[in-house]
């Protein structure tokens, strides 16, 4: 950093930033080996990451290029790419990686490389040239690092409690109306939840989120985690834990319904069905039910498209058709770049309004082309395929969760290569599935 300040060279700033990331990764690994007590380990890791964040922020906000890509940008991109991937690998001890984990690393690296290369089309000071760097760090940490530092049980314990609190905040609006809590605006939404044949005649809630779909997403995650916790509490004969899990799952299920988030309803139903089948019928039921669930989701969409099933698609089919035509018109190999895809598909729509594709897979194919799109499918679909093949030892809870997230991404716009709530939770689920030790019932 001293050299970078003295010379103000772009390469020196890139190397300084890479060294900070690598140092943080090595520090986390050292902390994991040194501290056995959970509280001490947590304090050490938070301290290391906090210090790294402060130092990187100082680099980024200084008058220097920081992590922005200045002159010799192609070389700088390679330096940053190698620095991030190396730091993530060093922090997670790749000697223990399975074949499936290495496939995930390769798919991740391909995605990062393509998105980084697209930053050359933007000015170095533009946010479009910077966000892929943060997206790569966030996705890489949640895919490779955090699942190896924090137990899967902690992840599944935290999710339903967080979701239940957020749902309860939204439910209070039925008693006192919209209100403000600290920096959060707790509101209802101008629609009514319902399922075919049933109209509850109540208003949709969005709680602290600007859109009820975000509440539905978090509630879906909390519901699935709550069901898993319920089963594990029953098996361990913890009646109090089972009672708490029932309450949490019920609140989260209510959140899914009251958010009127159809994608979350479908994803939750699929994930819970897979896990319930495993509980009742054992591991032999897992592969056929996973395959049947995915085919059933496609069948549901086909029924909606042909108006056989009376569920609104919210113009999804028009958006998907426009996205497919935009993909067909190219660029085929590496896509249109990392900018907003609404402007790419707008010429193919029959309206003057621009919308996102509302499908993560189509979004990646548009942004990163066939190379990036198939790498994305390899990461998501490959983790599911690996779980099906290794059904005798796979962590079924996380497999069911990942299948739910895979279906959810087919109906929403977020991708794993971002830092939104859905991006983080879906990436964590895949990371926990890939890093789970073999399970024998």
Give residue 11's pLDDT band: very low, low, confident or very high (50, 70, 90).
low
Highest-confidence range of 19-28, 130-139, 214-223, by mean pLDDT? 214-223
In this structure, the chain runs to a length of 441
Question: For position 64, what pLDDT does the model report?
Answer: 42
Would you call 181 helix, strand, or coil by DSSP? strand
Which whole number is the average pLDDT over 217-232?
A: 94
- Percentage, residues of the chain above pLDDT 70: 86
3-state class percentages of the chain: helix first, strand second, coil last, to nearest 5? 70, 5, 25
Residue 438: pLDDT over 90: no
Q: What burial class does residue 440 get, using C-beta atoms within 10 Å of its C-beta: 0-12 exposed, 13-18 middle, 19+ buried?
A: exposed
Specify the pairing of strand 204-207 against strand 184-189: antiparallel
- Rounded CA-CA distance 62/65 in Å is 8
Place of tokens 């939840």: 193
pLDDT digits (tens, 9 = 90+) for 140-171: 888 988 888 888 899 999 999 999 999 999 99
Would you call 187 helix, strand, or coil by DSSP? strand
Token pair listed for 340: 């907003």
Delimit the domains of the chain by residue range: 2-150, 153-318+348-435
Task: Please report the beta strands in 112-182, taking only residues with DSSP state E, as ranges in sequence order.
Answer: 179-181
Phi-psi region of 129 (alpha: psi -120 to 50; beta: other; left: phi over 0): alpha
Which is it for the CA torsion 95, 96, 100, 105, positive or negative?
negative
pTM: 0.83
Would you call 396 helix, strand, or coil by DSSP? helix
Residue 398: pLDDT over 90: yes
pLDDT digits (tens, 9 = 90+) for 61-118: 444 444 444 456 777 778 778 878 887 887 777 778 888 889 999 999 999 999 988 8
Residue 413: pLDDT over 80: yes
Residue with more model confidence, 348 or 217? 217
Would you call 199 helix, strand, or coil by DSSP? coil
**Rounded alpha-carbon distances, angstroms, from residue 231 to 65, 216, 228, 247, 418:** 52, 23, 5, 13, 32
């Amino acid at each position: 950093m001293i050299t970078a300040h003295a010379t103000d060279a772009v390469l020196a700033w890139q190397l300084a930033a890479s060294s900070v990331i690598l140092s943080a990764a090595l520090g986390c690994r050292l902390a994991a080996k040194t501290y056995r007590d959970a509280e001490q380990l947590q304090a050490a890791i938070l301290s290391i990451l906090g210090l790294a964040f402060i130092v990187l922020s100082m680099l980024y906000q200084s008058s220097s290029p920081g992590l922005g890509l200045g002159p010799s940008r192609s070389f700088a991109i390679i330096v940053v790419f190698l620095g991030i991937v190396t730091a993530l690998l060093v922090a997670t001890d790749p000697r223990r990686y399975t074949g499936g984990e290495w496939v995930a690393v390769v798919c991740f690296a391909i995605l990062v490389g393509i998105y980084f290369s697209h930053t050359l089309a933007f000015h170095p000071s533009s946010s479009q040239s910077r966000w892929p760097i943060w997206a790569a760090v966030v996705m890489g940490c949640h895919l490779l690092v955090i699942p190896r530092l924090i137990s899967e049980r902690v992840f599944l314990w935290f999710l339903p409690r967080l979701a239940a609190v957020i749902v309860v905040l939204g439910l209070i609006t039925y008693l006192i109306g919209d209100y403000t809590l600290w920096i959060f605006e707790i509101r209802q939404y101008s629609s009514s939840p319902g399922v075919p044949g049933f109209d509850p005649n109540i208003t949709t809630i969005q709680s602290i989120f600007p859109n009820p779909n975000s509440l539905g997403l978090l509630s879906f995650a909390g519901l699935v985690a709550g069901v898993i916790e319920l089963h594990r509490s029953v098996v361990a004969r913890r009646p109090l834990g089972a009672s708490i899990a029932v309450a949490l799952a019920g609140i989260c299920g209510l959140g899914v319904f009251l958010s009127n988030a159809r994608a979350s309803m479908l994803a939750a139903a699929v994930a819970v069905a897979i896990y319930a089948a495993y509980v009742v019928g054992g591991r032999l039921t897992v592969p056929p039910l996973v395959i049947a669930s995915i085919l059933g989701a496609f069948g549901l969409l086909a029924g909606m498209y042909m108006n056989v099933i009376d569920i609104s698609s919210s113009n999804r089919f028009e958006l998907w058709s426009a996205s497919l035509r935009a993909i067909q018109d190219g660029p085929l190999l590496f896509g249109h770049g990392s900018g907003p895809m609404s402007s790419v598909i707008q010429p193919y729509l029959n309206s003057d309004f621009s919308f996102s594709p509302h499908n993560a897979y189509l979004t990646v194919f548009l942004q990163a082309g066939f190379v990036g799109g198939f790498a994305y499918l390899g990461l998501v679909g490959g983790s599911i395929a690996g779980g099906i093949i290794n059904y005798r030892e796979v962590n079924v809870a996380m497999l069911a969760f990942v299948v739910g997230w895979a279906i959810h991404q087919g109906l929403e716009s977020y991708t794993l290569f971002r830092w939104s709530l859905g991006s983080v939770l879906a990436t964590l689920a895949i990371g926990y599935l890939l890093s789970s030790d073999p399970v024998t019932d």
